Chains A and B, each alone.
Chain A
Amino acid sequence: GENVGLHLPTLSVQEGDNSIINCAYSNSASDYFIWYKQESGKGPQFIIDIRSNMDKRQGQRVTVLLNKTVKHLSLQIAATQPGDSAVYFCAETLNSGYALNFGKGTSLLVTP
């Protein structure tokens, strides 16, 4: 992932709408990907993960899509709620290690 500066991209959605957050990862050798949610002043919270042998995985209200051809991940949140407002990070890691490389993050703002 690339840390590109002081301003996080922001996505503003209305409550009840679906949200799509995108991430470009950096290492074509990465084989495991995770989406985290981070609320202000707190540590990252695991949302959903996906391995490189899959292109889609669904959880409760969330879906992760992986496109290895273009090194792209997306997180879809269905029926977005005010409690979903937070910063969302994708992270990638290699098969042989545990260290996570975080993407730059997207701030999601849910308006009533």
Chain B
Amino acid sequence: GAVVSQHPSWVICKSGTSVKIECRSLDFQATTMFWYRQFPKQSLMLMATSNEGSKATYEQGVEKDKFLINHASLTLSTLTVTSAHPEDSSFYICSAVNSGGSSYNEQFFGPGTRLTVL
């Protein structure tokens, strides 16, 4: 089956530092990947759409200069949280759409990355 991995699975950092989170599609190519954020006991909120070879599309209220997205290959998208602050502490989840999939809108989720900013 289609597998999406994230690295790291958890990270603790100091306020003001930057953190990079990787999202990889392990056995399929993904032209499109999505980044979601989930606060405790809340739902997933779409942050941005990551398109291979082009600029990401950010949702309203998400700062593109703070959450840098790079989708440089068909199997890897990265999210960099720049100058992280405690309010950025959250569970970040990516998903990838199988470009070669036959199923309509087949989207696979990664296991998530827990970010804690001290």
List B residues 1-15 near A (Cβ within 8 Å). Answer: 4, 6
| Residues A98 and B44 in contact, CB atoms below 8 Å apart | no
| Residues B43 and A1 in contact, CB atoms below 8 Å apart | yes
A90 closest partner in B (C-beta): B43
A3 closest partner in B (C-beta): B43
Which of A37-45, A61-69, A72-80 is found at the contact surface with chain B?
Answer: A37-45
Separation of A32 and B106 alpha carbons in the complex (Å): 11
Separation of A102 and B95 alpha carbons in the complex (Å): 13
Known: A41-B112, A42-B112. A98 touches B34 (CB 8 A): yes
| Residues A42 and B41 in contact, CB atoms below 8 Å apart | no
| Residues B109 and A44 in contact, CB atoms below 8 Å apart | yes
**Is B107 an interface residue when CB atoms closer than 8 A count as contact?**
yes
Question: Which residues of chain B have C-beta atoms less than 8 A from A1's C-beta?
Answer: 43
| Interface residue tally for chain A (C-beta within 8 Å) | 25
List B residues 63-118 near A (Cβ within 8 Å). Answer: 91, 93, 95, 97, 104-105, 107-112, 114
| Residues A105 and B105 in contact, CB atoms below 8 Å apart | no
Separation of A98 and B107 alpha carbons in the complex (Å): 8
Interface residues of A (CB under 8 A from B): 1, 3, 5-8, 32, 36, 41-46, 51, 89, 93, 98-105
Interface residues of B (CB under 8 A from A): 4, 6, 32, 34, 36, 40-46, 49, 91, 93, 95, 97, 104-105, 107-112, 114
Known: A98-B97, A102-B44. 5 other contacts (CB 8 A): A1-B43, A3-B42, A6-B41, A6-B42, A102-B45
